[in-house]
């Protein structure tokens, strides 16, 4: 008797009319969650592609053409969701400092986001004042195809625990900038992690760029994997059907060959000369007697019906002894 476990519930759900709706809704929900938390999940794009294919298939949505259409619509939704989430994070981004690294600490940019000014101040504190320093700044605009630009930092003043360096830059191009600081202490290069800022683009432009990035991520990472899954599973199913067909054809040919071989092995005795004749022969290979109709079964002679010459057992209708070839008189 069934205990009504989770497996039974899922089996009933998959067989119900609402099962497909539940499956597609679950696919969309899981995919959205994975995309929105993609920054924190390894192989998020692969996970989304597997969910987009596996969950609908589990709930009985096995028509690949319809699944491809569903996937295409979902990819658009995921791209929009990823872009809107990214734009929201950028617009709400506040001041931040890069993580301390070796001799460098307190790296930041002022202001982080301000559309009214193009002048930005980058600052960093060098902790040890007892060795030779060469402090540099790298600035990169993620909206610009140009490479990052390096600038020399300028000493400003001594502060508690070190020295303050800064550099003022006028950034005319709109975009989302990133920066990092480096120092050479005479033996090795030390570099901080990347900090984000300044952001000097209007919100609507940020939204457009974020949605474009979201669509690129959705179609060229998730979509590519999803459609590869569709193609590979379609190819595997086709190969399986083709292999089954070949096996069935081989069995059919084998059966026909066995039947033909069986018929060839069937033999009967020629009524004229007593020679063995193949079952599919139309005439006797020894005496030339033709067999237009099926030969009538013959009754075996009694033990005293024997050839007068060689004593071989013969049939009453035989005209010649099958053993020695003596001509027989049917009346005798």
Q: Say how far apart CA 234 and CA 272 lie, in whole Å.
A: 65
Q: In whole angstroms, what is the distance from residue 293 CA to residue 268 CA?
A: 13
Q: Quick check: 105 and 122 in contact, CB under 8 A?
A: no
d(CA 35, CA 212): 15
- Position 28 scores a pLDDT of 95
Q: Where are the domains of the chain?
A: 6-93+208-231, 104-193
Residue pair 272/315 in contact (Cβ under 8 Å)? The answer is no
Q: Which helix (H) or strand (E) holds 124?
A: strand 119-126
Residue 177: the pLDDT is: 93
B/e letters for 235-260, b = 16+ CB within 10 Å, e = fewer, are eeeeeeeeeeeeeeeeeeeeeeeeee
176 with 169: CB under 8 angstroms?
no
**CATH superfamily of this structure's domain 104-193:** Carbohydrate binding type-21 domain (2.60.40.2440)
**For position 65, what pLDDT does the model report?**
92
pTM beyond 0.75: the answer is no
Q: What is the pLDDT along the chain (332 residues), one digit of tens a residue?
A: 445 566 777 777 777 778 888 899 999 999 999 998 887 888 999 999 999 999 999 888 889 999 999 999 999 999 999 999 999 888 887 767 787 778 899 899 998 887 778 899 999 999 876 666 789 999 999 888 788 999 999 999 998 888 999 999 999 888 999 999 999 877 888 899 889 889 988 888 999 999 999 999 999 999 999 999 999 999 999 999 999 998 888 888 888 776 766 555 567 677 777 777 776 677 787 787 776 655 455 545 445 577 877 877 777 777 788 778 777 775 54
> So what's the pLDDT on residue 188?
83
Write phi, then psi, for 222 (nearest 5 degrees): -70, -50
């Amino acid at each position: 008797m069934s205990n009504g476990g989770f497996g039974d519930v899922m089996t009933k759900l998959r067989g119900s009319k609402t099962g497909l709706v539940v499956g597609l809704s679950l696919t969309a929900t899981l995919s959205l969650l994975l995309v929105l938390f993609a920054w924190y999940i390894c192989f998020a794009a692969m996970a989304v592609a597997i969910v987009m294919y596996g969950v609908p298939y589990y709930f009985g949505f096995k028509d690949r053409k319809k699944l491809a259409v569903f996937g295409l619509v979902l990819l658009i939704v995921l791209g929009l969701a990823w872009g809107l989430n990214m734009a929201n994070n950028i617009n709400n981004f506040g001041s931040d400092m890069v993580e301390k690294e070796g001799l460098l600490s307190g790296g930041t940019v002022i202001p982080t986001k301000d559309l009214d000014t193009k002048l930005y101040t980058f600052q960093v504190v060098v902790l040890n004042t007892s060795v030779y320093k060469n402090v540099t700044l790298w600035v990169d605009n993620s909206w610009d195809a140009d490479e990052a630009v390096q600038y020399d930092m300028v000493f400003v003043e001594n502060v508690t625990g070190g020295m303050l360096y800064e550099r003022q830059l006028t950034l005319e191009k709109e975009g989302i900038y990133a920066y990092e600081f480096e120092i050479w202490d005479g033996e090795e290069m030390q570099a901080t992690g990347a900090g984000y800022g300044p952001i000097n683009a209007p919100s609507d432009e940020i939204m457009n760029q974020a949605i474009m990035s979201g669509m690129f991520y959705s179609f060229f990472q998730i979509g590519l994997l999803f459609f590869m899954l569709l193609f590979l599973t379609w190819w595997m199913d086709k190969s399986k059907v083709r292999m089954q067909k070949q096996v069935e054809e081989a069995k059919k040919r084998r059966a026909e060959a066995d039947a033909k071989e069986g018929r060839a092995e069937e033999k009967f005795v020629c009524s004229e000369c007593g020679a063995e004749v193949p079952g599919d022969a139309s005439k006797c290979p020894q005496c030339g007697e033709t067999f237009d109709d099926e030969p009538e079964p013959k009754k075996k002679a009694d033990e005293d019906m024997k050839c007068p010459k060689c004593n071989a057992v013969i049939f009453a209708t035989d005209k010649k002894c099958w053993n020695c070839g003596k001509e027989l008189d049917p009346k005798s």
